[in-house]
Chains A and B, each alone.
Chain A
Amino acid sequence: DGGITQSPKYLFRKEGQNVTLSCEQNLNHDAMYWYRQDPGQGLRLIYYSQIVNDFQKGDIAEGYSVSREKKESFPLTVTSAQKNPTAFYLCASTLKPVSYNEQFFGPGTRLTVL
């Protein structure tokens, strides 16, 4: 599996710390997305970016921040303001930010707050 990568695979954080999750793609995709996956709740959209230097909040953006300085990179920062950050985080990308485009997912990062 190439194309879209996430690091690290596992991440442990102490309460009160900010952490940054990496997402990189070499598919030349314009749009990128961050989802949070919790058991029994499916995937919920945190932030998305249609193009470089542009991003919008998703359904559960509180306590998170992103940047999109390069087309291939879309890092997610989980801040100390996020009340329940322990979850599995998935990054995805699509060729264009339109419906009908398949979303390709990264392998995910499992974040645990100690």
Chain B
Amino acid sequence: GENVEQHPSTLSVQEGDSAVIKCTYSDSASNYFPWYKQELGKRPQLIIDIRSNVGEKKDQRIAVTLNKTAKHFSLHITETQPEDSAVYFCAASRGTSYGKLTFGQGTILTVHP
């Protein structure tokens, strides 16, 4: 089955800096890669996703890049703000998996004012 590894497990940055979280996956048939943000005490929410036919996707301060050859994808957050502090999860899915997601271990991002 699919295996998703996520790094780093914790990330601390100063407000205004950029943050990068990286994930690698094992199943070359995976074709959908969402990122979820979970604030303390709240439910995970989708913040951005990318399909395998696209190399990069951007939404305001967040972007995701995908390297299918190397089987890794990354989340980039620019101009970080304290409200970006949360746990971020990457995930991978293949088209034949009935919507099942395999999640990474999560990254605790702390943005210091």
Contact = CB atoms under 8 A, between A and B. Distances in A.
Interface of A: 1, 31, 33, 35, 40-45, 48, 50, 56, 58-59, 90, 94, 96-103, 105-108
A45 B103 CA distance: 9
Contacts of B103: 35, 42-44
Contact of A105 (B31, B45, B95, B98): B45
Interface residues on B, range: 20 to 34
Given A1-B43, A105-B44, A42 B98 contact: no
Given A45-B100, A105-B44, A100 B32 contact: yes
B65 interface: no
B101 to A, nearest CB: 6
B44 A90 contact: yes
A35 B1 CA distance: 17
